[in-house]
Amino acid sequence: MRTNCSSHFRAVVEALFVTVLWSTSWMLIKLGLKDIPPLTFAGLRYTLAFVCLLPLALRKPQRASLRRLPARTWGRLTLLGLLLYTVTQGAQFLSLAYLPATTSSLILSFTTILVALLGIGLLNERPTPLQWGGTLLYLVGIWIYFSPTSLSGGAGFGLLAAGVCLLGNALASLLGRHVNRDETLDPMTVTVVSMGAGAPVLLIIGLLTQGLPRLTVADWGILLWLAVVNSALAFTLWNRTLRTLSAMESSILNNTMLFQIALLAWLFLGERLTWAQGLGMALAMLGTFVVQAQKHSPK
């Protein structure tokens, strides 16, 4: 019992550490976007992360696992990589180029609810009345958050990009659940194969449409930190925590990023929240917690 408690506590600490790393990513992305175009930036980050993880995938046990993968699984992992990295991450970087970090993260937090709604048709999972109530609470929070805000024309494109990011993230979550539910795959294999499928495509799109600017030493420092620490290390740690933490626990810990990003954006980017926006964000997060907790509660 003591061993189980200690391993669970360690998993919680590691998961919180990962959320802090991912929250700082939003600040670093905002800084890097001053010099690097968004699609090129995202492509460089995840391609470099894939290169860092590739030696782990080429170890003897991992090579044997890769050779045993059927063609159908390769197809699913490729599609997962295109959704998760090419579409979702590309759109996220685009949204951050036009929106405050807090606004973009707030929209992305709707993923939990959208997954529940899409699961009605795709997974035959119907939301409960409490989940519908949580969805309504989230929408009320969003309305309060945006009602005092005047958006410029550029912000309109940012909202569109954030919407694409939201949809891509939700579909990737559903496909990721399907892959891990139907296939016995090592988390490292899922990460490396999907990242290797999606990241280079994103990089090519970025280079063809936005080019590669002249990068400063600071730009390379941001890129390497995001790739090595906030992507390669963070994704590996997160996959390890999923062996211990339940889906509900992981989701709640991951949702704490919204508050972390709001605090970091206030401290380092000068993004301030009004009382109304703070109330709207709190209601939206409460709605996601209600939906997620009800979704994974035991029958």
Q: Which residue has the higher pLDDT, 240 or 226?
A: 226
Phi, psi of 263 (to 5 degrees): -65, -45
Report which of 169, 182, 198 is spatially closest to residue 86, judged by C-alpha positions. 198
Residue 72 has pLDDT above 70, yes or no: yes
Q: Give, for 166, the enclosing helix (H) or strand (E).
A: helix 153-182
pLDDT number for residue 255:
73
Residue 299 has pLDDT above 60, yes or no: no
* Per-residue model confidence as pLDDT tens digits over 90-118: 999 999 999 988 888 888 877 777 776 77
* Per-residue model confidence as pLDDT tens digits over 30-56: 999 999 999 999 999 999 999 999 988
Residue keyed to tokens 């494109």? 157
Distance CA 204, CA 206 (A): 5
Q: What percent of the chain has pLDDT over 90?
A: 36
Q: How confident is the model at residue 294 (pLDDT cuts 50, 70, 90)?
A: low
Question: In b/e form, how buried is each residue of 26-64, taking b as 16+ CB within 10 angstroms?
Answer: bbbbbebbeebbbbbbbbbbbbbbbebbeeebeeeebee
pTM, two decimal places: 0.82
pLDDT number for residue 60:
76
Question: In b/e form, how buried is each residue of 230-244, taking b as 16+ CB within 10 angstroms?
Answer: bbbbbbbbbebbbeb
Q: Which residue has the higher pLDDT, 24 or 250?
A: 24
Residue 66: exposure state from Cβ atoms within 10 A (0-12, 13-18, ≥19): middle
pLDDT number for residue 49:
95
Residue 77 has pLDDT above 50, yes or no: yes
What tokens does 118 get? 């899409």
Q: How confident is the model at residue 133 (pLDDT cuts 50, 70, 90)?
A: confident
